[in-house]
Amino acid sequence: MTYQKRLTLLMLLDSVIVLGAIYLSVLMLVPAIRIFHSETLLVSSVTLLLSHHIFSFMYGLYNKAWEYASTGELVTIAKAVSLSVISTAFMQQILVQDVYFRALVLTWMLHVLLIGGSRFSWRIYRDRYIKPKTTQQRALIIGAGAAGTMLARQLMKNREASIMPVAFIDNDPQKHKLYIHDIPVVGCTKLIKKTVEVLKISKIVIAIPSLSKEEMKRIYEECAGTNAKTVIMPMAEDVLLGKVSVNQFRDVQVEDLLGREPIELDIKRISKKLTGKTIMVTGAGGSIGSEICRQVCRFKPKKILLLGHGENSIYQIDIELRNKYKDEIGFVPVIADIQDRNRIFEVMEGHKPDVIYHAAAHKHVPLMEYNPKEAVKNNVIGTKNVAEAADTYGVETFVLISSDKAVNPTNVMGSTKRIAEMIIQELNRNSATKFVAVRFGNVLGSRGSVIPLFKKQIQSGGPVTVTHPEMTRYFMTIPEASRLVLQAGALANGGEIFVLDMGEPVKIVDLARNLITLSGYKEDEIEIRFSGIRPGEKMFEELLGKNEVHEEAVYPKIFIGKGVQVNFSRVTSLIKEYESYSDSALADYVLSIANNKEPLLMTSVN
């Protein structure tokens, strides 16, 4: 229907209602009809009709989409009608020198009732009898708080939305058996499975922004036991900022189920370290290095050197950051191999960075077992080159990205990471630069993570290959790992190895099962096959032994490991002679150096 046709119909309808209201009020006031003579009735009718149309235009009553009418529209109707009746009273006073209050009050009541009824009847008819054009999925909303009710209201307004909420689940017993926007709150999260079956739910929406990781994991386990797809409502702040709409859901990610809350940063301390400074990130094109660059940008450094060996990955992060920060920060893409000592010293001399985050390394355990010389060249000699250049050119802080595999290492990769820690601790003894290392477990979503492999295997229909049913690892997200790196750099006094309290280790087979269900499959639809432990792999990783953990963290969830005295001459010999060893002999040699001393002991930062 065109706007002009719709306007004409509404004005004709309102004209009938207005005249009907005033004549009905007269008929109902039988004793007063004698004094309410035809002249007064004519004046009142014409005045009320004209003033109604005038105030209806003023308040936009002819421009509203009445299929979405709410209490706000009812208030607007009351305002327009009230002003129309008041105008009629003034005209009665002017033209007939009297005001018929009883008739006008009754007219006002009938006027509001009939105008409001005509408008709201369209919404009621539409909601109950007009079917949406799209086939809507029946949805269960987890959370009947502010976020859940806002979501329900938006979905019910939008008849073209792909889902329609039919029930709430909430753990607050005071809300049970209540109705919110005509949607029942059926009970607590223990009733998720039953509710899905009884109400034939095809989609579950988690709408509780304040959920802890542990609560999210527990609720998701309940949802995963149903045939419904589970999604999460976007963050409230993203909705308010206009980044996404309230009904733009996202799938549950493995990161949501880690069961551990992210670390909070000491913003003031990090700002003091980074704001207005020149920062270098090696391995800046990698998953960890690029995220460190993104996190550093929040603190408005003067310049960031994006150093890496792969030109495409450095190009990508350079373009991304330039587009986002434009002229706020200087970005310098540097193509360089950390094994090239002269090139590293040249870059350091030219830019003289204040802080270095050294993320460049070979990290793949089985590959390094087959290529120990490459592991030594990159992880040991490359680290030595960058660290000694930092010492030579007066870098304020040098942060090495290490690994939990450096603890009591059983593989080449972990051993070379432990030796890299030894190198920076040795340099720290006589340097003005503060050398520190940050040690954490596996990073979800990184290039070396098992997650991308599992996803590809699931997409191809399986099987998903897990090395052993008891294999466990510590996990953290890329942003969380990067925040830890920044915080460690701000806490550095020199010589420390910072370790994150990563909570409980996760069984790899449980991670695989979660990914299968997150991908929309049942566990029995995708086979999990155990392939056997690979060369150099441990069954259990460790960050530090329980008896080595100091009771008091130096920062929430951050501890410090202090290395014991090492025979650094063996490291020097390794660097000079590694090429003369066979692969198997070199692997044994780096293992012996890395495991020559007692494990790290936890100490207070003070």
Active site residues: 405
Query: CA distances (Å), 604 to each of 27, 101, 206, 439, in order?
Result: 91, 84, 41, 16
DSSP string, 185-248: EEE-GGGHHHHHHHHT--EEEE--TT--HHHHHHHHHHHHTSSSEEEEPPPHHHHHTTSS-TT-
Cis peptide before 463 (omega within 30 of 0): yes
Cα–Cα distance, 92 to 36 (Å, whole number)? 11
Cα–Cα distance, 150 to 181 (Å, whole number)? 10
CB 468 within 8 A of CB 533: yes
CA 165 to chain centre: 23
Query: CA distances (Å), 500 to each of 120, 292, 390, 415, 554, in order?
Result: 59, 16, 25, 20, 11
Tokens of 507: 């069984």
Cα–Cα distance, 468 to 534 (Å, whole number)? 10
Cα–Cα distance, 604 to 554 (Å, whole number)? 6
CB 78 within 8 A of CB 112: yes
Q: Return the closest-CA partner of residue 237 out of 228, 226, 246.
A: 246
Query: CA distances (Å), 42 to each of 49, 53, 111, in order?
Result: 11, 17, 17
